[in-house]
Copies of this chain bind each other. A is one copy, B any other.
């Protein structure tokens, strides 16, 4: 990697990577496992294209990511196309157009790569993998709970330990701040203070809201403690609606997934640009990076919707490694049925492409754990014989 970049054929743009063996297969297999869980719950897969006209992709829920989006010109129509930074707006578009006449609730799933411009930090992924679900039509705590429950089940099937679902209710903060006649300057100072969880600044900029906001700021944590604080503080009706909905959603989630680890941060709002209800971030305990996120929003044509997008690429970093196929070297001239039988048993066969003087040495060189000898497997010295 010391060559001048233009001459180094291994150089990729920052944020783009080659996924190599065995990670590439683990990632693909993990993604399909997530999709299988979604399919068993009646979520039908759709697959939108990588590129769309920017006017359709970057409107509605897509507007939030417009500035993160690569654009290129369609030579056919001379109109600009966008390379998708997120699939959710595409699913919303499909639900509102091609699937507008399908019965509701409409349950859709999707998976694919997304690309975003990224910031100047060179360590941010610019190509990510998404695998998600959208539940379009109902606007109820039970619908919110189904989304969270499917995320929990999918992560459990992959064996991800210590998963936590962190709930927020962005419109609650919005409603609370709207009750005070804050100037735009004061409002943005207060939002910044909340965003930084800076209690002193919240007290300074909060005016009459300072006591409630400070209490809610400190309430973030396990769901029941946070809901308890929320139930005790004095909230205007416009905010109480959201607080009640949050409590009902927590109850619906816990009913569907007993023992789920839920936290609530009542005044968190950052990163939830187009959301209108309960939002969720998924974490593995002790890990910084989100495994997924989702929440309630208004889909195209103002239809209620909620969804969850998991990140198979991130999840595979915290999930236990899968057993790889054991490799068996099959010497030249072996009856083809030997290889067939081995593959049917789950082995990967590596066929000799000609006579090999020392099959065991060749097997070792090619990373095989066994050599097929007649109908038997001979272990290769020094190779791991367990997956």
Interface residues in chain A, defined as those with a beta carbon under 8 Å from any beta carbon in chain B: 5-6, 9-14, 16-22, 24-25, 27-28, 32, 35, 39-42, 44-53, 55-56, 59, 70-72, 74-77, 79, 81, 83, 90, 93-94, 96-99, 103, 105, 107-108, 111-113, 115, 117-118, 120, 122, 127, 138, 140, 142-143, 146, 256, 300, 325, 327, 336, 343, 347-351, 353-354, 365-367
Residue of B nearest to A21 (CB): B44
Partner of A24, one of B46, B105, B348: B46
What is the distance, in angstroms, from A62's C-beta to the closest C-beta of chain B? 11
Note all chain B residues with C-beta closer than 8 A to A94.
Answer: 18, 20
- In the bound complex, do residue B50 and residue A9 qualify as a contact, i.e. CB atoms below 8 Å apart? no
Q: How far is the CA of A49 from the CA of B129 in the complex (A)?
A: 11
Evaluate whether A9 and B300 lie within 8 angstroms (CB atoms) in the complex, with A20-B98, A46-B19, A113-B50 already known. Answer: yes
Note all chain B residues with C-beta closer than 8 A to A44.
Answer: 21-22, 24-25
What is the distance, in angstroms, from A37's C-beta to the closest C-beta of chain B? 9
Evaluate whether A52 and B348 lie within 8 angstroms (CB atoms) in the complex, with A20-B46, A117-B75 already known. Answer: no
Q: How far is the CA of A59 from the CA of B11 in the complex (A)?
A: 14
Contacts A9-B93, A11-B53 known; 12 new A-B pairs at CB < 8 A: A16-B52, A17-B49, A18-B90, A18-B94, A20-B94, A21-B44, A21-B45, A40-B325, A42-B351, A50-B113, A140-B354, A146-B353
Q: How far is the CA of A368 from the CA of B113 in the complex (A)?
A: 31
Note all chain B residues with C-beta closer than 8 A to A41.
Answer: 343, 348-351
Q: How far is the CA of A216 from the CA of B84 in the complex (A)?
A: 49
- In the bound complex, do residue A327 and residue B45 qualify as a contact, i.e. CB atoms below 8 Å apart? no
Q: Among A40, A111, A127, find the residue whose CB has the most chain B CB atoms closer than 10 A.
A: A40
Q: Among A9, A45, A118, find the residue whose CB has the most chain B CB atoms closer than 10 A.
A: A9
Note all chain B residues with C-beta closer than 8 A to A117.
Answer: 75
What is the distance, in angstroms, from A314's C-beta to the closest C-beta of chain B? 15
Residue of B nearest to A32 (CB): B32
Evaluate whether A42 and B349 lie within 8 angstroms (CB atoms) in the complex, with A28-B32, A56-B11, A71-B72 already known. Answer: yes
- In the bound complex, do residue A49 and residue B12 qualify as a contact, i.e. CB atoms below 8 Å apart? yes
Partner of A353, one of B17, B22, B105: B105
Q: How far is the CA of A347 from the CA of B5 in the complex (A)?
A: 53
What is the distance, in angstroms, from A105's C-beta to the closest C-beta of chain B? 6
Please name 22 pairs of A and B residues whose Cβ atoms are closer than 8 Å in the assembled complex, sorted by A: A9-B56, A9-B59, A9-B97, A12-B52, A12-B53, A13-B52, A13-B77, A13-B79, A14-B76, A14-B77, A16-B51, A18-B94, A19-B48, A21-B45, A21-B108, A40-B343, A41-B349, A42-B348, A42-B350, A112-B113, A113-B113, A138-B353
Residue of B nearest to A342 (CB): B40
Note all chain B residues with C-beta closer than 8 A to A111.
Answer: 28
